[in-house]
Amino acid sequence: MHEMVAYAANPATSRGRYFTETPPVGRTEFQRDRDRIIHSTAFRRLEYKTQVFVNHEGDLFRTRLTHSIEVAQIGRSVARNLGLNEDLVEAVSLAHDLGHTPFGHAGQDALNDCMKDHGGFEHNLQSLRVVDVLEQRYAAFDGLNLCFETREGILKHCSVKNAQKLGEIGERFIRKQRPTLEAQIANLADEIAYNNHDVDDGLRSGLITIEQLSSVRIFSRHLDSVTTRYPTLLDRRLIHETVRHMINTLVSDLTEQSRTLIAQHRPGRIDDVRNAPPLIAFSTKIQEEQQELKKFLHEHLYQHYRVARMSSKAKRIVTDLFRAFLGDARLLPPEFQVRAETDLARAISDYIAGMTDRYAIREHRRLFTVEET
């Protein structure tokens, strides 16, 4: 293992777990967290939850599972280069999407609309709820009983109103503090992964074209570099090579700009990190180019009529399911009927958020379609 800097998150001085446990043997506390996340039911479900495209639309599009693995790979590289804790970055990266609904952001928006009179729905809070409460694996406690630093990293953003309900884990939002540098890395590794892989999937699907993307500076620059070096390269390899070079540029820029910011603020320990401004960041030029790419994807991919049609169907499925369960709790599986006795809407939200794309489609069919057997 590489030597870590003094302001890195140290598992030996972790702020601990909610339930005290015997220290692990042969692995650190953060490695234990990572292992628990990988073996969780919610993590396995990510294989059938999608980013932009619904699961049945193609076998080669990214899912929440492949995305989380890619985020972890990018995050570990940055952490290693900065002398930070790779294991914590990996744990946070693998867990950050555990609370996502089926059907990507369309499902989240629909579920939030359904929950607007019941406290709302936000996937970061739901990810925390998954690891704190909903996973049912261990005899001594509900959830995964993760370390404070891992849980803190999962909760990327939160309103002050919600933070006030979360106790210690919500304090930084009230005090306007920062999380560990490892959590900051996982957040921006997520951005690098989803922007570039949405480019790859969008091109693969035919919903956007190389010609359209040539208007985006960061893509155009790397495309020109690749075509100059490999003038006869065909489309699929050309796209892969261009996206690969873009990711490398973003990771290198993030590493160097973060190193500069850390040198300027000179944190001596992790508390200095919490009280400093964000120290993991892109340079101004790259940040502007990232925003340009995001704007392009929003206008040309996420708003594409084929994506909009699927999003409309997804929202209808989520809304129909929520209303059906709210109207008759007996339609819920037994374990969620028990939860519904104390908070019906939240139990329904937990059930729907835990569904995969294809499970939600089947559940909708079971409730609303009369089929001959």
Cα gap 318→109, rounded to integer Å: 10
Cα gap 24→173, rounded to integer Å: 31
Cα gap 18→364, rounded to integer Å: 37
Q: Classify residue 168 by its DSSP letter.
A: G
* Domains observed in the chain: 11-205+250-280 (1.10.3210.10), 309-368 (no CATH)
Cα gap 367→333, rounded to integer Å: 13
Q: What tens digit of pLDDT does each residue of 212-246 get? A: 999 999 999 999 999 999 999 988 899 999 999 99
Q: What tens digit of pLDDT does each residue of 123-154 get? A: 999 999 999 999 999 999 999 999 999 999 99
pLDDT at 307: 87
SS3 for 159? coil
pLDDT at 293: 97
SS3 for 50? strand
Q: What tens digit of pLDDT does each residue of 26-62 get? A: 999 999 999 999 999 999 999 998 876 554 444 447 7
Predicted TM-score of the model (pTM): 0.94
Q: Between these two residues, 352 and 371, which has the higher pLDDT value?
A: 352
Question: Does the pLDDT of residue 63 top 70, yes or no?
Answer: yes
Q: What tens digit of pLDDT does each residue of 198-213 get? A: 999 899 888 999 999 9
pLDDT band at residue 373 using 50, 70 and 90 as cut-offs: very low
Which phi and psi angles does 99 have, rounded to 5°? -95, 5
Cα gap 231→210, rounded to integer Å: 15
